[in-house]
Chain A
Amino acid sequence: MSESLIRELRAAKPAARPELRERVQALATAEPARRPFLDRFEWRRLVLVAAPATVVVALVAAGVIGLTRDDLSGGGQQAASGVTTTALTEQARKADDSSAATIAPSAPEDSAATIPFSNAPPGGSVAPDPGRVQRYQAELQLRVENLNELSRATQRAQRIAASLGGNVSSLSYDAPRGGIGSANILLRIPVERVQTAMTQLSQLGTILGQRFGIEDLQPAVDDLSIQVEQSQRRIARLRKQLENTKLADEERAVLQSRLASERQRLTELRSGLKATRAEGRYATIALTLTTEKIEAVVPGGDSKLEGIKDVLVWEGIVALYALVVAGPIVLLGVLIWLALRLRRRREETRLLAQT
């Protein structure tokens, strides 16, 4: 197309009539109020602001929750240690159950206040209250350099228990040739020496993890003591009744039978009381020694970071879940939108070709 024709087209460019100018001018002067902020806010801008804001909120929430929640940092410590603490706990529980089985069955379960297991700083522990009967449990996970060290540490642990007046309740030693060795030792140590034991045992290797728990047995002891006293009073009453010479033979036989069963019950109660008190005299320490190269857990900063990491992982899981649930819906919406757009575009092309 020649330049002259283009010039001709441009020279003959249609211009708006004055009437139209006035119409448009009237529109411009009919000044509407500026729309509220929310009306002017475009969704695209909202997404641009909301997306980074959500990330910031998620990070801040993870930081706050991770730093303030102790149980999360504990969980991280457990995970980081890589040692089956649950198994250790089970081991300790089994040992306790075997001794607790001797406690009188009438002792109410909820009367024993239980302090849950908690993490302690390496080499440190919480002392039991000497004024109360308490079940003290501790778990100590240590790493030793090699199999020779494992053997030596196992023997030393047994000697420490013996020197403190305790004993080895169970011991399992696993040291395959050329492999990673480990030893699980369940020690019973007098409670008044448990801190000494923990200190000495923690020097056998590098601490990977340490937990302790105290269960208050005093309510059970008090309850058993009351039952013993009641039983003694019943026996005394039965004896007094049997002293009566005017009793019929049948009546006497019944009272004697009652007396015998009450004596039996008293024996069991005393035995249970004795066992419970004995339980409170000894602490259970589940010691795990391993040659496996696992990073030692330093409480404080690292565990806090673990807590933050845990929260972030959970946030990620929630986000992934939301994505999985909402993804197909969003995809369907996008496909519908694209289909409508395509249809509109085709209709538009048809319309413009006709006109």
Chain B
Amino acid sequence: MTISARRQQPVQHPAWSASFAATAEEHLDDVYAYLVYFTRDRTLAEDLAADTFEKALRQWGRFDARRASARTWLCQIARTTALDWFRAEDRRRRREERSAPAERVEEAFADGLSPDLEAALASLSAAEREIVALRILLELDGEETARVLGISPTNVSTRLSRALEKMTAKLEGKVSADV
């Protein structure tokens, strides 16, 4: 049974649980898209998204809608989950690189993106990709993005413009090379 199917046949949960199911349903795509951009790995993004909602369910009792929207709160959890994974991966990679260098799997961000845009996105670092995801893809405002990243809104603007400049430069370079 899919989440959309549940909409027709609501399960009898307490208000808080039903509310969590609805929240998960509403923001799953956003969380997943954010994680895909952040990790550049769809399979990993799926696992991390599942972990994110598992953590969110545990912390649901502490969620305060007055302090942040559910989407911002979920993105914060998703980011923490991804960062934990990055740290663990970094440790693992350091251990393994002593014997044999690890191979990085390059994946497409999404279906339907032009190869140039795909390449431009791939040229960004994880920090730049996540800001593009939050501000452009998820359309979070500066305040919300700042809350997710734990930085100031001014810093968000600066980082975003740098990321976009980098993408634009990559795209323009590609275009001029083709010409």
Contact = CB atoms under 8 A, between A and B. Distances in A.
Interface string A19-45: 111111101110110110001101000
A8 interface: yes
A1 to B, nearest CB: 5
A324 interface: no
Interface residues of A, number: 40
A9 interface: yes
Q: What's the dominant secondary structure at chain B's contact region?
A: helix
B136 to A, nearest CB: 6
Interface in B15-73: 16-17, 20-21, 24-25, 28-29, 32-33, 36-37, 39-40, 42, 45-46, 49-50, 53-54, 57-58, 61-62
A254 interface: no
B24 A25 contact: yes
Q: Summarize A's interface: helix, strand, loop or mixed.
A: helix
B21 A28 contact: yes
B29 A16 contact: yes
Interface in A297-355: 345, 347-349, 351-355
A13 B112 CA distance: 9
Nearest to B120: A5
Contacts of B37: 14
B140 interface: no
Contact of A24 (B3, B13, B110, B126): B3
Interface size class of B (residues with CB under 8 A): 35 or more
B125 A353 contact: yes
Interface in B118-145: 125-127, 130, 132, 136-137, 139
Nearest to B35: A14
A240 interface: no
Interface of A: 1, 5-6, 8-25, 27-29, 31-32, 34-35, 39-40, 42, 345, 347-349, 351-355
Interface of B: 1-3, 6, 11, 13-14, 16-17, 20-21, 24-25, 28-29, 32-33, 36-37, 39-40, 42, 45-46, 49-50, 53-54, 57-58, 61-62, 83, 86-87, 90, 109-114, 117, 125-127, 130, 132, 136-137, 139, 150, 164, 167-168, 171
